[in-house]
């Protein structure tokens, strides 16, 4: 995050998290990837530090900060471990922040504090085997009988699913789509196996099943039928937080490549002195900087208007494509060592690729941007700033 522009409280937060990440996350990041192991204790420690409930008011166990703070935490963790940052973002933003914003007093009092402290782990459960990009085509459904809802169906590719205690779950209801808080202890809930992935290893991803799970009114977010609105209200802050996750990956890749280009000599010259390497460093830097600037701009715009998809989708499109580009170039600058696991650069590329798939694909983001752009241009006759 821009050093000179942060408010003092956020500067202190950044330094605290940076110190924690270098002391606790950096030493385990490679092993998390290699063994595909989620560090549960470390995650719970983040709860004790107040990082998990960063956007939640103190009254409900959180730290009472804003999305800028959440973006800072996500980027700092991602600098050392994109996979831990992904699990963090899924828990703290996709699940907890939305659960708090739309949850009843009962949900806020019973579940939110547990997710803030790290006693519980949370997930957002939207994607299904038959519906990903077209999320609203989901088949999971909750039927009303005698004043209660009975949920059937399944969700897949869910971050943290193998460990989560609470799932912010979307399902069809008579009135359209609705959002429910589903607990892993609910009778009729079960989990499938954890997926083995090319990247983001250590961030557990899995499938869950619902077999006639009984849900009373206290488990409904908002009102029955509010699901689409609840989903849309959270998507733009999710996009921004993901953009900062991939800025963290890009910063690590550029940092690593710069250092290596200054250490390594070939034909009597440092790598950074070769014109073709200079070109790489220049483009890597420009893409890193533009990712940060467009994401900071989008963050401010989404704070003012949570439905500003044009800004949020533009930020995550650019930041995720740039992270993949920068990570690939960092490997090239490392030559053969870039291809070797010990140097840690190849992990950055494997992790960066998720940026164009998770939380909505690049193709869907392009569609959203183009649709919003055309609509705005038709209305105002000028390119939106
Ligand atoms: C590591 C990981 C973590 C994830 N975590 C979560 C999570 O926590 N919660 C959750 O709910 N989901 C999660 N997902 C799911 C993720 O959001 C979906 O994978 C993503 O939205 C794409 O859906 P899909 O995989 O079904 O692909 P599909 O929708 O089947 O798309 C396949 C291809 O077709 C393209 N395509 C589809 N529709 C269109 C269109 N209309 N126009 C142009 N191209 C199109 C896509 O862009 C893509 O290239 C996760 C996925 C991964 C890999």
Query: Which overall architecture, per CATH, does domain 8-117 show?
Result: Orthogonal Bundle (1.10)
CA distance 341 to 336: 11
Is 238 one of the annotated active-site residues of the chain?
yes
Q: Would you give the DSSP letter of residue 131?
A: B
CB 331 within 8 A of CB 346: yes
Is there an atom of ligand 1 within 6 Å of 205 CB?
Answer: yes
Cα 240 to ligand 1 centre (Å): 17
Cα 20 to ligand 1 centre (Å): 32
- Please choose from 36, 92, 99, 127 the residue to mutate so as to test ligand 1's pocket, defined by most ligand atoms within 8 A of CB: 127
Residue 79, SS3? helix
* Residue with CA at minimum distance from ligand 1 atom 7: 158
Is there an atom of ligand 1 within 6 Å of 245 CB?
Answer: no
Closest CA relative to residue 233, chosen from 88, 70, 57, 103: 103
* Residue with CA at minimum distance from ligand 1 atom 27: 132
pLDDT tens-place values along the chain, 385 residues long: 655 579 999 999 999 999 999 999 999 999 999 999 999 999 999 999 999 999 999 999 999 999 999 999 999 999 999 999 999 999 999 999 999 999 999 999 999 999 999 999 999 999 999 999 999 999 999 999 999 999 999 999 999 999 999 999 999 999 899 999 999 999 999 999 999 999 999 999 999 999 999 999 999 999 999 999 999 889 999 999 999 999 999 999 999 999 999 999 999 999 999 999 999 999 999 999 999 999 999 999 999 999 999 999 999 999 999 999 999 999 999 999 999 999 999 999 999 999 999 999 999 999 999 999 999 999 999 999 9
Q: Which CATH superfamily is 122-223 part of? A: Butyryl-CoA Dehydrogenase, subunit A, domain 2 (2.40.110.10)
Token reading at 297? 């701009």
Closest CA relative to residue 67, chosen from 45, 90, 97: 97
- CATH entry 1.20.140.10 includes domain 228-380: yes
Distances, alpha carbon 183 to alpha carbons 91, 123, 175, 223, 235, in Å: 14, 10, 23, 19, 22
Is there an atom of ligand 1 within 6 Å of 357 CB?
Answer: yes
Domains of the chain, residue spans: 8-117, 122-223, 228-380
Q: Which residue among 80, 238, 329, 346 is the active-site one?
A: 238
Ramachandran assignment for 64, one of left (phi > 0), alpha (psi -120 to 50 degrees), beta (any other): left
Tell me how crowded residue 61 is: count the other CB atoms within 10 A of its CB: 21
Q: Would you give the DSSP letter of residue 92?
A: I
Is there an atom of ligand 1 within 6 Å of 354 CB?
Answer: yes
Is there an atom of ligand 1 within 6 Å of 168 CB?
Answer: no
CB 17 within 8 A of CB 73: yes
Q: Any alpha helices (H) in the chain, and if so which ranges? A: 8-20, 26-35, 40-48, 67-80, 82-89, 98-102, 105-110, 112-117, 227-263, 275-304, 309-333, 345-353, 362-380
């Amino acid at each position: 995050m821009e050093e000179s522009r942060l408010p003092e409280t956020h500067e202190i937060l950044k330094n605290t998290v940076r110190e924690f990440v270098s002391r606790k996350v950096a030493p385990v990041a490679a092993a998390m990837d290699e063994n595909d192991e989620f560090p549960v204790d470390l995650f719970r420690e983040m709860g004790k530090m107040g990082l998990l409930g960063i956007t939640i008011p103190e009254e409900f166990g959180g730290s009472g900060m804003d999305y800028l703070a959440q973006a800072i935490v996500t980027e700092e963790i991602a600098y050392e471990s994109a996979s831990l940052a992904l699990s963090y973002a899924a828990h703290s933003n996709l699940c907890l922040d939305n659960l708090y914003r739309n949850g009843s007093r009962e949900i806020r009092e019973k579940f939110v504090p547990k997710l803030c402290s790290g006693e519980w782990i949370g997930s957002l459960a939207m994607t299904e085997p038959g519906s990903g990009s077209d999320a609203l085509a989901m088949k999971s459904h909750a039927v009303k009988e005698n004043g209660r809802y009975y949920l059937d169906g399944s969700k897949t590719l869910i971050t943290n699913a193998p460990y989560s205690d609470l799932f912010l779950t979307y399902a069809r209801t008579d009135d359209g789509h609705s959002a429910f808080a589903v607990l892993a202890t609910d009778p009729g809930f079960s989990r499938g196996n954890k997926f083995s992935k090319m990247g983001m290893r250590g961030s557990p991803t899995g499938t869950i099943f619902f077999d006639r799970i009984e849900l009373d009114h206290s488990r409904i977010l908002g009102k029955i039928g509010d699901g689409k609105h609840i989903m849309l209200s959270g998507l733009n802050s999710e996009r921004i937080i993901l953009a900062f996750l991939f800025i963290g990956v890009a910063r690590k890749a550029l940092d690593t490549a710069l250092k290596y280009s200054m250490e390594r000599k070939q034909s009597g010259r440092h790598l950074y002195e070769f014109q073709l390497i200079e070109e790489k460093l220049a483009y890597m830097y420009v893409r890193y900087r533009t990712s940060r600037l467009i994401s900071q701009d989008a963050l401010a715009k989404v704070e003012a208007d949570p439905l500003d998809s044009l800004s949020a989708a533009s930020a995550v499109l650019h930041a995720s494509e740039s992270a993949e580009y920068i990570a690939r170039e960092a490997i090239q600058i490392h030559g053969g060592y870039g291809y070797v696991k010990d140097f840690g650069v190849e992990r950055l590329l494997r992790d960066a690729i998720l940026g164009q798939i998770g939380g909505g694909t690049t193709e869907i983001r392009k569609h959203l941007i183009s649709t919003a752009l055309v609509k705005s241009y038709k209305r105002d006759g000028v390119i939106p700033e």
